[in-house]
Structure 1
């Protein structure tokens, strides 16, 4: 989805001279509330209530995952992950996910919240999960844009997690984009920040699971279009994630698909190189020949989910861990 939107900028850039206005950001307000996790809601420090979903053994799990969704998506992106891990009888895993600000059912949709707010929200939920499940390992999982948020969170607040799982992370930073895309993004985000863009008409397939894609197209919580300034915000966090990946020190699992048409293979390869050189004690990469961008919801999704379960069952630090060949 990210790559699809980026290709549209060159088409609209010539309009930029007609008007000018600043990108709109809706960050968190001042801390006025006690953070908390309710049955179906995360209450942030500024009092904002963000929808929360969970799956698996939430009463007495052996391990806990906080999952961060991608651009245009929402917490339900992890239904397949939660249901799949719930069938893993080797280890009880609880999966939690909330609608990040600006997306899904969040009250600030469709505005970008800013990097600090996104990272602070993730950090607060990790802290709450640690308090709820004392002594249990807590893992941070980031999918696509959520992967960029997870990288920055892990690089700056690694003490909040026992391991990091990156699923097709959005790490296509501006240095890797064609000049005409970065130039158009810079101009349009200040000239037409409100302009809604869609990926329609572009030959990009995020998954081979057609029935799933049809279901998502009818889901009102999915965003079929996003503002230009929100895309610029996602580009900002992809830039920062690329820079901060070398600061990660927790066990990390990187999952990507050879058929990914959203994030260029070179971007994931560069991340793999950075993580391998970061000195992480336990780092593993899984590359699935049959995997697209929506790895957890692809037809090959059950294989990917089972690999995540095995990695967690091994404590996220097994030296001899190997991925299933798809």
Structure 2
């Protein structure tokens, strides 16, 4: 792959990862990428103005608790306690450029089933001191491992589940593959970021990050649209949430490529119970990349396919089905998933045999959050 091609592949990861099989359009993106890089900012993008008719969409909900982790600093947490007897605790890990608020919609249903949800701002995101940067995969893993250990002490005898969305799912995969992981009853991976980009693309990302570490990229300059979910109210909340990052540093972009590579190398070595969920309308993680990951995962891994689901599964109209499957897998692990996702997953995997991967290109600025 040429340097132009690798730069184009790299650029699509700004904010999220887009996919589009259009080779004629892709040729136009090669020079456009470098125009974009020349004009990019070195400061974080300002949040959008609060909508006058719906100011609640831009509300900043204070953390319920802040914990201090050695070598990391303060980590804010949102906590939704179980209603009634506590049957499980969920450590919920958000995706790239997201925050602890990613779990505010599914949390009430999980609470009603006796599950406490604890959602941190991962270092580099949300309200952490490192916001907008990249602390490194090892630091992110140490943060998650420390939180898991702490939760285990504070909730003795209660099973702990680690749930990760996209980037958070990639972290959960690496955590599950390690031998020194704290006791975890199971892992739920929501559209995990397991797209293993080629060595040349990763090298290009490292080079750009080294030469221009303060550059921040939005992707607004390129006219490609990606739909990450179809629940417009949930997407509006994500857009206006002051904790959401609206652009990406070259350093964070490079770090994400490394994390995805590491997760793709670790997914075959996960220990314990695992449920992985993927949506039929995911335009962020390509279907061939997810199918390859599913084939690599241990045989006991449970696969769940939601035909109408988008990348942000819990911000899609099928979110209730996803939450119900998560709840069922935790509370009645030997039962079929209520969505029918077991059978749908088998049919989808059979259909993926021999399919080639699509060409990745860059989404327009924030256009990934809304259908066009």
**TM-score band, normalised by the shorter chain?**
0.7 to 0.9
Paired with 1:9 and 1:187, the residues of 2 have a C-alpha distance of 17
Match of 2:308 in 1: 290
Q: Secondary structure at the match of 1:174?
A: coil
Paired with 1:172 and 1:47, the residues of 2 have a C-alpha distance of 27
Q: Structure 2 residue aligned with 1:63, among 88, 111, 132?
A: 88
Distance 1:130 1:60, change over 3 A: farther
Match of 1:31 in 2: none
Match of 2:60 in 1: none
Paired with 1:50 and 1:226, the residues of 2 have a C-alpha distance of 20
- How far the C-alpha of 1:211 sits from its partner, in A, is 2.2
Instruction: Check conservation: 2:328, 2:337, Cα contact below 8 A.
Output: no
Paired with 2:129 and 2:30, the residues of 1 have a C-alpha distance of 27
Paired with 1:96 and 1:113, the residues of 2 have a C-alpha distance of 21
1:230 matched to 2:252? The reply is yes
Paired with 1:212 and 1:263, the residues of 2 have a C-alpha distance of 20
Structure 1 unpaired stretches of 5+: 18-37
Q: Secondary structure at the match of 2:106?
A: helix
Paired with 1:306 and 1:185, the residues of 2 have a C-alpha distance of 39
Distance 1:69 1:9, change over 3 A: farther
Structure 2 unpaired stretches of 5+: 1-14, 20-25, 39-62, 342-372
- How far the C-alpha of 1:228 sits from its partner, in A, is 1.1
Q: Secondary structure at the match of 1:324?
A: coil
Instruction: Check conservation: 1:290, 1:300, Cα contact below 8 A.
Output: yes
- How far the C-alpha of 1:202 sits from its partner, in A, is 2.6
Q: Secondary structure at the match of 1:293?
A: coil
Q: Structure 2 residue aligned with 1:173, among 192, 196, 205?
A: 196
- How far the C-alpha of 1:269 sits from its partner, in A, is 0.8
Greater RCO (CA < 8 Å, at least 6 residues apart): 2
State how 1:1-326 maps to structure 2 within 5 Å. Answer: 1-4=15-18, 11-13=32-34, 39-46=64-71, 48-57=73-82, 60-88=85-113, 92-156=114-178, 157-175=180-198, 181-182=201-202, 184-200=204-220, 201-275=223-297, 278-279=298-299, 282-314=300-332, 316=333, 318=334, 320-325=335-340
Instruction: Check conservation: 2:90, 2:161, Cα contact below 8 A.
Output: yes
Paired with 1:222 and 1:269, the residues of 2 have a C-alpha distance of 29
- How far the C-alpha of 1:130 sits from its partner, in A, is 0.6
Instruction: Check conservation: 1:4, 1:199, Cα contact below 8 A.
Output: no
> Bigger CA drift: 190-199 or 75-84?
190-199
Paired with 1:235 and 1:174, the residues of 2 have a C-alpha distance of 7
Paired with 1:9 and 1:302, the residues of 2 have a C-alpha distance of 40
Aligned residues: 293
Q: Secondary structure at the match of 2:256?
A: helix
- How far the C-alpha of 1:187 sits from its partner, in A, is 3.2
Match of 2:23 in 1: none
Paired with 1:16 and 1:304, the residues of 2 have a C-alpha distance of 38
Instruction: Check conservation: 1:9, 1:184, Cα contact below 8 A.
Output: no
